[in-house]
Structure 1
Amino acid sequence: MLPQADITTVDFMSRQTSWLHWLMKKIYLIMLDFVPNLYDVFYKVSGGASGGSLVQSAFAVVMQPVMQRIIRRAEPDVVICTHPFPEGAASLWKKRHNPHLPLVVVMTDYSLHQIWLYPRVEAYFMATEAMRQEMTEKAFSQARLHAAGIPVDVSLQALPGKAELREVYGIPQNNPVILLMGGGLGLGGIKETLLELEKIPQSLTLLVIAGRNERLLEEVRKCAAQYHHLVKAWGFTDKAHELMRAADLLITKPGALTISEAFVLGLPMLLHDPIPGPETENAVYATRHGAAVWLHPGEKLAPAVQELLTGDCLESMSARAKECAKPAAAAEIAQCIVTMLTGKK
C-alpha cells in the first residue's frame, strides 16, 4: 500500500463542510417524517435516464462550488466518493477545471441506480457481480468496473469469540441474545420493538444501541427494570462491532453498511422499516440470499422472532450470511487505487 499517504475524510453533508448541504439534509429528514414515501418518489424519479440526468445535474451544479473549495484546499492525487452527491460535484468540477484528476466511486448500495452513474469516473467499485454486469450492459468499460463488495472495518475479522465477549459484557451464555440497532440517530422503532419482544415468554438477553438518541436511551433503561428479559443499553458507542459479535440475531433497519458487517460476522438479521428506495433493495438482497428475514408492515415481530429461535434456523442463516461476506473489500479497493495511481506516475 502507501504508508506515506495523507488521507483527508470529508463529510460532504455536514454543517462544517457546507451550511447549505447541512440544511438540505435537515429539511429532507424533517419532510421524511411527514411524507414517509418521499425518498421512494425521489428514487423512482431519479432512476430513469431522463429524470435521473436532470436530478443529477441539479445537485451537481448546486454542490460543485463546495467541491471546488475542498479540492483546492486538499490538492488531492485522487478523489474517492462513497455517495452520489459529492461524486456528481466532483465529476462536474473535472469537466470545468481538471479532467485528469482521478475520480473513484465506491457504491454503498446493493442495487444499481442511475444517480450513481456519472461521466469522468476512472473506477467504480460495487457490491455485487450482478451490479457490475448491469453496468457492463449500459456500455461502461469493464476495465473500470470492480465487484469488490462494500468495504467494512478489517477489525471485524479479528474480534474475540462470542463466548469471550459475552463474558466481557456480562451477558448470559445460554439465553438467546438479540441486538437492536437504529443507526447513529437511534431510529427504527426500537422502543416498539422492545414492547413486542416482551411478549415472548422465553428468557432473552436484549442489547440496545440507542446511538445519540438520549431520550430513547433513558426510556430503554426505564423499561429494563420492568421487563422479564435482561436488557442492556448503550448510547453512541464504539463497541457496536463487539456487541454484534456477541449477538445471535440483529434487529435493524437495512442500511447497506450494517448488512455488510453482519455478513462478515455471520450474524442473522430481522429487517424492518426500510427507507423506500435503496434500503428496500438492501432488504431484498439479504432476504433472497437467506441471511435475513424481512418483516413487512402488518406482520407481527414476536412470532417472527420465536420462529427464528427454533431449530437450526439461525445457524443456517449465519452460514448464508458468511457466503455473502466480502471481508477483504477495503483492501482490494485500496490496492486497485494504489495500482491506478502508481501506474500514472
Structure 2
Amino acid sequence: MTTPKILILTGSYGNGHLEVTNALVAELNKRGITDIVISDLFYEAHPILTSFTKQLYLKSFTKGQSIYGFLYYNSDARLTDFRIDRIIDRYGYMRISQLMNSYDFDVVINTFPMQALPIYKQKNEHNIPFVNVLTDFSLHSRWLSEEIDHFFIAGKSLKKELTNSGISSDKITISGIPIKEEFYNTKTLFSNKTNDSVHPKELLISAGAFGVIKNLPILIEELYHQNNLNITVVCGRNHELYNLLLTKFTGISSILILGYVEDMASLMRQADIMVTKPGGISLSEALAIQVPLVLTPAVPGQEFDNAKLFEIEGMALITHEEEEIVPAILFLLKNTSFSTELKKNMEKYFYPTAAATIIDKVLTISKKTTSSKENSHGKKTINP
C-alpha cells in the first residue's frame, strides 16, 4: 500500500511550533510514514524579514512587550486589517507555490498561524486537504479560513471560539496539543508522591531560554529560606543565566541549577509545584502530568490569553508582576487542598495521545488523495 506524502508547515518563533511538528513526525514515523517535507515557511520565503521579527519576538519577553502585544492583537482580522501581515503572507504564498510545484503532496499539515495557505488554495485548483493544528489554547484569526479542511484544537473553549467565528463543528477535532510521548502515562507515578510534612517539597522553575523572570536570583534567595523545600531551576539554553545562578548558589544542597534538559518529564513528575511561562507546549506538558502551576507574568499575546484561560478554568495561579510569584508559591505550599483542586481541573482538560488522534484523522482525510494517485514514486523524497 502506498504511504502518503505529507507537507508540514512550521515556524521557528520560540520552540512551540517546532515541538508540535516533531511530535507529529514521530507519530508518522511510528506508522512507517517517512515521506515528509518540513518547511519553516516564512524563514525560507524571506530569511531577513523573519530574522528581524524573531528578534522582536525574543525581546518581547524582556523589552518591547507593548510592541509585541500591539502587533499580535492588531494583526487579528476580527479587530482590524493589519497590512504587514499581507506582506508576510505574500512571501509565504510564493514559497508554498514552489513546494507544491516541486512535490506531489497528499495532505498539508500547518502548525503556524498564517493566511498564506488559504490564499494558495483560493488561487489554485487543488483537492489536497489542508489542516491546521493550533498550538495554543486561545484563538487568533490567522488560523481561520473556510479554505482549511480541518482544525485540531486544545479544548472545548477553543471549539466554541471557532464555531462562533463561523467554522463548522464538523471540521473541528478536540485533540489536545501534541507533545513528546514521554509526558504521557505519567499520572500513576505522579499520584504516588507523598504529601506528608516530613519530606521536602519539590519546586521546579522553568526559567526558559529567554530569561522570562528578570529577578530570578532574588526570587530564589527568598525561597531558599523556606523549610523543607528543594528548588530545581532549568535555564534551558540561556548559558549566561545558567552560569550566573551556578556561581551564586553552588554548594547549596537544596538548590539544583540545570541548563538544557532532555528529560523534562521526569523533573515535572517529581515536582509539587512548577513555575513556568504560559506557552502552549509548557501548559500541555503540565496538563499531561498534572503538576500545580504558578504562571509567570505573560507577554501580551497568545501567552497572555493562555494564562487567562488557565485562571478561568482553575488550572493555575497566574501572576501579573514578578513580586507575586513567591507569594503564589507559598500559598500553594500551605494549601495542599487547593493544589489538589488545580490537578483535578487539569485532568478534565487533558486529552491524551494528541499526535495519534491528529494523525488518525489526517490519514482518513488524505485517503482519497492517496488512492487517486497514478504514480507516487516519480517525485523526489525528503525525509526529516
Instruction: Please give the per-residue CA displacement for 1:98-155, whole angstroms capped at 9, x wherever unaligned.
Output: 4322211011121222222134211111112222223223322222122222222232
Partners of 2:191 and 2:304 lie apart in 1 by 33
Q: 1:244 to 1:17 in 2, by over 3 A?
A: farther
**Match in the other structure for 2:3:** none
1:342 aligns with 2:370: no
Q: 1:14 to 1:175 in 2, by over 3 A?
A: farther
Partners of 1:162 and 1:222 lie apart in 2 by 32
**Match in the other structure for 1:231:** 255
1:193 aligns with 2:219: yes
- Asked whether the 8 Å contact 1:64–1:89 carries over to 2, the reply is yes
**Match in the other structure for 2:23:** none
Partners of 1:283 and 1:332 lie apart in 2 by 25
Q: What is the DSSP-based 3-state SS (H/G/I as helix, E as strand, rest coil) of the residue aligned with 2:318?
A: strand
Counterpart of 1:209 (choices 234, 245, 254) is 234
1:101 aligns with 2:128: yes
**Match in the other structure for 1:287:** 311
Partners of 2:302 and 2:247 lie apart in 1 by 34
**Match in the other structure for 2:151:** 124
**Match in the other structure for 1:111:** 138
Deviation for aligned residue 1:299 = 4.4
Which structure 2 residues correspond to residues 1-345 of structure 1 after superposition, within 5 A? 2-12=31-41, 18-30=47-59, 33-49=62-78, 51-52=80-81, 54=83, 56-85=85-114, 88-159=115-186, 161=189, 174-189=199-214, 190-198=216-224, 200-225=225-250, 230-297=254-321, 299-312=323-336, 313-344=338-369, 345=371
- Asked whether the 8 Å contact 2:42–2:50 carries over to 1, the reply is yes
**Normalising by the residue count of structure 1, what TM-score does the alignment of the two structures yield?**
0.85
- The CA RMSD over aligned residues, in Å, is 2.9
Partner amino acid, structure 1, of 2:151: Y
- Asked whether the 8 Å contact 2:42–2:91 carries over to 1, the reply is no
- Asked whether the 8 Å contact 1:196–1:301 carries over to 2, the reply is no
Partner amino acid, structure 2, of 1:256: G
Q: What is the DSSP-based 3-state SS (H/G/I as helix, E as strand, rest coil) of the residue aligned with 1:121?
A: coil
**Normalising by the residue count of structure 2, what TM-score does the alignment of the two structures yield?**
0.77
Partner amino acid, structure 1, of 2:223: L
Structure 2 alignment gaps of length 5 or more = 1-27, 372-384
Instruction: Please give the per-residue CA displacement for 1:198-224, whole angstroms capped at 9, x wherever unaligned.
Output: 3x4223211111111111111111122
Q: What is the DSSP-based 3-state SS (H/G/I as helix, E as strand, rest coil) of the residue aligned with 2:184?
A: helix
- Asked whether the 8 Å contact 2:45–2:94 carries over to 1, the reply is no
Query: Which structure has the higher relative contact order (CA within 8 Å, separation 6+)?
Result: 2
**Match in the other structure for 1:170:** none
Q: 1:321 to 1:27 in 2, by over 3 A?
A: closer
Structure 1 alignment gaps of length 5 or more = 167-172
Partner amino acid, structure 2, of 1:277: G
Deviation for aligned residue 1:62 = 2.8
Partners of 2:210 and 2:79 lie apart in 1 by 34
Give aligned pairs, total: 335
